[in-house]
Amino acid sequence: MPLSIEQFICRSDNYGVLVHDPDSEQTLIIDAPEEKPIVAAIERTGWKPTMLLITHHHADHVAGNLGLKQRYGMPIYGPAAERDNIPGIDEAYDDGHTLSFGAYTIHVVSTPGHTAGHVSLFIPEAKLAFTGDTLFAMGCGRLLECQPPVMFESLKKIAEWPRDTVVHCGHEYTEANARFARSVDPENEVLQRRAKEVERLRASKEMTLPTTIGDELDTNPFLRWADPAIRGTLGMEDATDSGVFAELRRRKDAF
Ligand SMILES: [Zn+2]
């Protein structure tokens, strides 16, 4: 049977996600922004958590760690480079590590940029990924601990996953991201359509995630460094891909 997903809002705009494998009866928690809504999701689904997987050390991704561990006792995994800042961590993982999840294999992919040790989690057989605060719908994370070329290399890795990979991200930032995307890619009709759909969803407080790699390749300016129209808007026709990315990130920070 395919994996089941339960996605819900925590705090104000963070996402909590549970992933359940009906065959092995194992359940992942991806990040722990807040204990209460995660407990509510566990009770609603009846799924018993077997692992908590952390993408990065920020408080709005680990705040529920100790409370959840006390309740459910599942091991907590987090990025090796950030282990000292991840409450209750049992096992550290890093680029290239794999974890078994029933018949599935979870691949740990190092995606620094937002934080220096940030990892994303990719389950190729399920065409499913979790990018924390690296990739967002039509956006990417702020560069709090790294220079732009580091994030560029991380996004390049993500951009190579199959187009039909379903991607869960750490935050509901899509509407604001769409406004910036339209400002640098105004002629992109796929983006215009998507932005309208996002406005409609947000008007009724619906979630705009998950997304897919294909939708991001078509509409996310932070994966479209090679696009001639975006390069034209920026006046950077002959710049490097990494240079275009850095300029986009700089403009978004000031947007
Ligand atoms: Zn963060």
107 known member of a binding site: no
Expressed in angstroms and rounded, the spacing between residue 56 Cα and the centre of ligand 1 is 7
pLDDT at 155: 98
Expressed in angstroms and rounded, the spacing between residue 8 Cα and the centre of ligand 1 is 17
60 known member of a binding site: yes
Rounded to an integer, what distance in angstroms lies between the CA atom of residue 20 and that of residue 246?
A: 37
| Model confidence pLDDT, tens digit, residues 213-241 | 999 999 999 999 999 999 999 999 999 99
pLDDT at 221: 98
| Model confidence pLDDT, tens digit, residues 26-39 | 999 999 999 999 99
pLDDT at 128: 98
Expressed in angstroms and rounded, the spacing between residue 31 Cα and the centre of ligand 1 is 11
Q: Give me the mean pLDDT over the 192-196 stretch.
A: 98
118 known member of a binding site: no
Mean pLDDT of the chain: 98
Expressed in angstroms and rounded, the spacing between residue 169 Cα and the centre of ligand 1 is 11
Expressed in angstroms and rounded, the spacing between residue 232 Cα and the centre of ligand 1 is 31
Expressed in angstroms and rounded, the spacing between residue 45 Cα and the centre of ligand 1 is 27
| Model confidence pLDDT, tens digit, residues 122-151 | 999 999 999 999 999 999 999 999 999 999
Expressed in angstroms and rounded, the spacing between residue 178 Cα and the centre of ligand 1 is 20
| Model confidence pLDDT, tens digit, residues 60-76 | 999 999 999 999 999 99
Expressed in angstroms and rounded, the spacing between residue 133 Cα and the centre of ligand 1 is 5
57 known member of a binding site: no
Rounded to an integer, what distance in angstroms lies between the CA atom of residue 28 and that of residue 170?
A: 15
Expressed in angstroms and rounded, the spacing between residue 53 Cα and the centre of ligand 1 is 14
Rounded to 5 degrees, φ, ψ at 194 are: -65, -40
Expressed in angstroms and rounded, the spacing between residue 20 Cα and the centre of ligand 1 is 24
Rounded to 5 degrees, φ, ψ at 26 are: -90, 150
Rounded to the nearest 10°, the torsion over CA 228, 232, 238, 242 is -80
3 state SS of 21: strand
The single-letter code of the amino acid at 157 is: K
Segment holding 195, helix H or strand E? helix 189-203
pLDDT at 202: 97
